[in-house]
């Protein structure tokens, strides 16, 4: 097996890349450039980016508010229950809802698309 990555001290005269690896590499390039795989990546970005991005934005903003705006967090909502605890409660709900949406989307949209990409890669070789 040859070294395919860049070590900090690369060999001065690396061995030539065997034909077998080049054939495999071209299969990899073809696989990632296939329409099905590109559609899968695009779909993943469209599912994950908003879900994770918005969740993290909410979570990290709440953390910042907890540190920098304690008077706001101390505002009462219901009895002694305040804005800070409301946001904590929302974080639990948000995490569960976001996770369920992702798993639903992954099971019903991402997995079938991944299977199409894998099937296409297998089919292209035969």
Partner 1 sequence: MKAMTVGIFLLILMLTLAITWWAARRTHTTSEFYAGGGNLSARANGFALAGDWMSAAAFLGFSGLVSLYGMDGSLYAVAALVAFLVVLMLIAEPVRNTGRFTFGDVVAERMRSRHARLAAVIGTVVVNLAYMVPQMAGAGALIKLLLGIPYDLAIVLVGVGMMVYVLFGGMIATTWVQIVKAVLLLIAAIVLVLMLLSAVHFNPLTLFASVEHLYGPRMLVAGGYFHHPLDPLSLFLSFVFGVAGLPHIMTRFYTVPDARTARKSVLWLMFLAGSFFLVTTLIGFAAATFVGQDAIRTADKGGNLALPLLAQYLGGGAGTFGGQIFLACISAIAFAAILAVVAGLTLASSGAIAHDLYVNVINDGKVGEAQQVRVARIATLAVGLLAVLLGLLAQGINVGVLVILAIAVAASANFPVILLSIFWRRFNTAGVIGGMAVGLASSVILAFIGPAFLKGNAIFPIVNPTILSMPLGFVGAWAGTMMTSHSGRRAIREAHEARFDAFVFRAHTGLDPEREHTAQ
Residues 6+ apart with CB under 8 A from 125: 27
Least CB distance to partner 1 at residue 62 (A): 8
- How many residues bind to partner 1 according to rule CB under 8 A? 72
Q: Does 32 bind partner 1 (CB under 8 A)?
A: yes
Q: How many CB atoms lie within 10 A of CB 6?
A: 7
Task: Please report the beta strands in 1-126, taking only residues with DSSP state E, as ranges in sequence order.
Answer: 76-78, 81-82
Q: Count of CB atoms within 10 A of residue 37's CB?
A: 19
107-126 residues in contact with partner 1 (CB under 8 A) are 107, 111, 114-115, 117-118, 121-122, 125
Task: Tell me which residues in 59-98 interact with partner 1 (CB under 8 A).
Answer: 59-60, 63-64, 66-68, 70, 73-74, 78-82, 84-85, 88, 91-92, 94-96, 98
In the complex, minimum distance from the CB of residue 35 to partner 1, in angstroms, rounded to a whole number: 14
Q: In angstroms, give the least distance from the CB of 26 to partner 1.
A: 8
Dihedral of CA atoms 111, 115, 118, 119 in degrees, nearest 10, equals -170
């Amino acid at each position: 097996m040859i070294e395919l990555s860049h070590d900090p001290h690369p060999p001065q005269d690396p061995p030539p890349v065997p034909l077998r690896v080049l054939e495999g590499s071209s299969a990899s390039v073809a696989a990632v450039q296939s329409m099905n795989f590109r559609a899968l990546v695009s779909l993943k970005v469209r599912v994950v980016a908003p879900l994770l991005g918005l969740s993290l934005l909410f979570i990290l903003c709440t953390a910042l508010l907890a540190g920098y705006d304690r008077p706001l967090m101390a505002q009462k909502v219901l009895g002694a229950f305040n804005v800070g605890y409301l946001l904590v409660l929302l974080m639990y709900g948000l995490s569960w809802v976001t996770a369920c949406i992702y798993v639903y989307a992954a099971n019903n949209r991402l997995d079938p698309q991944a299977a199409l990409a894998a099937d296409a890669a297998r089919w292209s070789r035969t």
